[in-house]
Amino acid sequence: MATATETPAEVGAIQEFTVTVIIRRFDPEKDAEPYWQDFDVQMYSTDRVLDALHKVKWDQDGTLSFRRSCAHGICGSDAMRINGRNRLACKTLIKDLDITKPIYIEAIKGLPLEKDLIVDMEPFFASYRQVQPFLQSSSKPEKERIQSIEERARFDDTTKCILCAACTSSCPVFWTDGQYFGPAAIVNAHRFIFDSRDDQAQVRLDILNDKEGVWRCRTTFNCSEACPRGIEVTKAIAEVKQAILRGKP
């Protein structure tokens, strides 16, 4: 579908294409079922999928609904399924996709669809809250809570989570069993379980040692593949499993 509208004179020049995006639309007040709608947009090779959505919303169809805030991969509000993979629209460059074919964009799966690309995130945050994702420490130091570089390194990876839900909504276990805590909740529990300053690791391990806890993980690796922050999600889950077996972090 893409035709280079002009031949770039110099190598590395910004190219312009026409890209077809096919978006899964749903308006709960009008539609019984979601449907696919296509739009042609002019894009530059420096553009991201988020820019394509903006062009559609601003120039073609103002009813298109999606979430975004920072547009720079840090707020975690625009996770969506792009060509069947969970990605942040603001971190996915058009030129990295195969633009000879249309780009399919739909809401993340497994959470209730509200409108177009917006899902109800409450179930996701409910399980996040359940793992007590905050520091609980009884010590009252004079100045600060000292932590060595090694102690900090144990949970460094999981501090990077931006709660975009790309992992949880890519998990086949979560798709059929919405009771499963999901990778993101486990990642954020991991962040505090392995924090030497925190006292309540055991409580979180007990919470996750549940029928719907870490044992539900089938090491499908979809979550690691989906995470826009590059967190080794499956590894974090495995570390929590090990900690539960050991009985301590």
Interacting residues toward ligand FES by CB under 6 A: 68-71, 73-78, 88, 90
Token pair for residue 104? Answer: 């399919």
Task: Supply the DSSP string of 40-96, one letter for each residue.
Answer: EEEEETT-BHHHHHHHIIIII-TT-----SSSSSSS---EEEETTEEEEGGG-BGGG
**Span 152-171, contacts to ligand SF4 by CB under 6 A:** 161-167
Cα–Cα distance measured from residue 133 to residue 186, given in angstroms and rounded to the nearest whole number: 10
90 contacts which partner out of another protein, ligand FES, ligand SF4, none, CB within 5 to 8 A by kind?
Answer: ligand FES
213 contacts which partner out of another protein, ligand FES, ligand SF4, none, CB within 5 to 8 A by kind?
Answer: another protein
Considering beta carbons, is residue 34 or 178 the nearer one to ligand SF4?
Answer: 178
Considering beta carbons, is residue 159 or 202 the nearer one to ligand SF4?
Answer: 159
Q: Are the C-beta atoms of 14 and 45 separated by less than 8 Å? A: yes
DSSP conformational letter for 13: P
Cα–Cα distance measured from residue 190 to residue 154, given in angstroms and rounded to the nearest whole number: 10
* Cβ atoms < 10 Å from Cβ of 197: 16
Residue 189 contacts ligand SF4 per CB under 6 A:
no
**Span 207-226, contacts to ligand SF4 by CB under 6 A:** 226
229 contacts which partner out of ligand FES, another protein, ligand SF4, none, CB within 5 to 8 A by kind?
Answer: ligand SF4
Considering beta carbons, is residue 18 or 83 the nearer one to another protein?
Answer: 83
Considering beta carbons, is residue 104 or 125 the nearer one to ligand SF4?
Answer: 125
Query: Which residue, among 164, 172, 174, 133, has the nearest Cα to 227 in the 3D structure?
Result: 164
163 contacts which partner out of ligand SF4, ligand FES, another protein, none, CB within 5 to 8 A by kind?
Answer: ligand SF4
Task: Supply the DSSP string of 131-193, one letter for each residue.
Answer: T--S-------SS-----HHHHHTTTGGGG-----TTGGG-HHHHH-TTS--HHHHHHHHHHH
Q: Are the C-beta atoms of 130 and 213 separated by less than 8 Å? A: no
165 contacts which partner out of ligand SF4, ligand FES, another protein, none, CB within 5 to 8 A by kind?
Answer: ligand SF4
Residue 52 contacts ligand SF4 per CB under 6 A:
no
Q: How far is the CB of 126 from another protein (least distance, A)?
A: 5
184 contacts which partner out of ligand SF4, ligand FES, another protein, none, CB within 5 to 8 A by kind?
Answer: ligand SF4
135 contacts which partner out of another protein, ligand FES, ligand SF4, none, CB within 5 to 8 A by kind?
Answer: none
Interface residues with ligand SF4 (CB under 6 A)?
Answer: 76, 161-167, 183-184, 187, 226-229, 231, 233
